[in-house]
Chain A
Amino acid sequence: MTNPVTQDRRHFEDLAVGEVITLGHVTLTKQMIFDFAHEFDPLPFHIDEKAAKASLLGGLASSGWQTGALSLRMLVDSFLGTVASAGGLGFENLKWKTPFMVGDTIGGTVTIAQLRRSASHPQWGIVMLDFDIRNQKDKPVMSMRLANLVECREVVA
């Protein structure tokens, strides 16, 4: 069954281990931190500048979950939106390494680490994606391995 939305996108068979996806960039503003933190992480050091200055980080930084969400957005723009993605399965070994502070810019790369056919669903393959998110000083900010489903062109029984 062809999916009209994804038929012209790259499928599982078109991907190769070792392919490096270069992400775009995103610069963190105070408003972005406040908007996310008020909804999902309302700790004083994410929503109040004075509390942030007095905290271990010494200033306003994004919630770790916001750093992850912004990294995901960069992956959708550079990769997931151009392949026949069928959704995420999860991730492992997520590490927050350096705080993402207000005014910082992140970018980075995502590498295809593994490709395998789904054992239970012959119409899908699983792509393992290694994130290396860095700030403007080239310091590692976050890493993780994400597992995502991709539609196969040919269903192998």
Chain B
Amino acid sequence: MTRWFEDIVIDEVFPLGSHTFEEAEIIRFAKLYDPQYFHVDPERARQSHFGGIVASGWHTVSVGHRKMVDALSAESDRLRGLGQEPGVSGPSPGVNSMEFKTPVRPGDTVTYELIVTDKRHSNSLPGWGLLFNQLTARNQRNEIVYRADLVGFSKLRDYRTPLKLKVLLALTRLPVIGPRLRRST
């Protein structure tokens, strides 16, 4: 999130927008990353239980990630427009679960939304918090395409570096002592 950790509201729905999947892009993605016959070959896909081409789940998820990146940078711009400093999001350590529920067919429009279901301070990374994000994708018939539980880092605004850590960081910047300290920690 590009809000500060402290400003993130649990269970607030964050709409991420929609994407319409065309057959050509479904095939282009799948040829690179998931070339199974029901993703790349309209003729043979008819023999599968899908009855035609469907998008690779990894494709619908990658588009969902793009939607999230776009929405978060728009939120940053909005905060800057109000004269505020936006928050900082960090790397993602992973995905707890991802469930593909309804296949995406050419012409389907998928709408994505994000909800932060929980947050806590990180134990391993001082100054950062962990966000537990639920991303839901639905098609034009409101059927769930996929639901994902993702984890992300978000910077704390109100964090004050402890004095001990400040001293240590200052020491590592000194010549002679610094490199030795950096090697030993």
Contacts and interface: CB of A to CB of B under 8 A. Distances in A.
Contacts of B96: 92-93
B33 A70 contact: yes
B47 A96 contact: no
A3 B94 contact: no
A68 interface: yes
Interface residues of A, number: 34
Given A41-B65, A65-B62, A73 B48 contact: no
Interface residues of B, number: 34
A38 to B, nearest CB: 10
A94 B98 contact: yes
A15 to B, nearest CB: 17
A125 to B, nearest CB: 14
Given A4-B47, A80-B36, A94-B95, A39 B66 contact: yes
B65 A65 contact: yes
Interface in B32-60: 32-38, 44, 47-50, 54, 56-58
Contacts of A89: 99-100
Interface of A: 3-5, 36, 39-43, 56, 63-65, 68-70, 72-73, 76, 80-81, 85-96, 144
Interface of B: 32-38, 44, 47-50, 54, 56-58, 61-63, 65-66, 69, 91-100, 103, 146
30 contacts: A3-B47, A4-B47, A5-B47, A39-B66, A40-B62, A40-B65, A41-B65, A42-B69, A63-B65, A64-B92, A65-B58, A65-B61, A69-B34, A69-B62, A70-B33, A72-B33, A72-B56, A73-B35, A76-B36, A80-B36, A86-B48, A86-B49, A87-B36, A87-B103, A90-B146, A92-B97, A92-B98, A93-B95, A94-B94, A94-B98
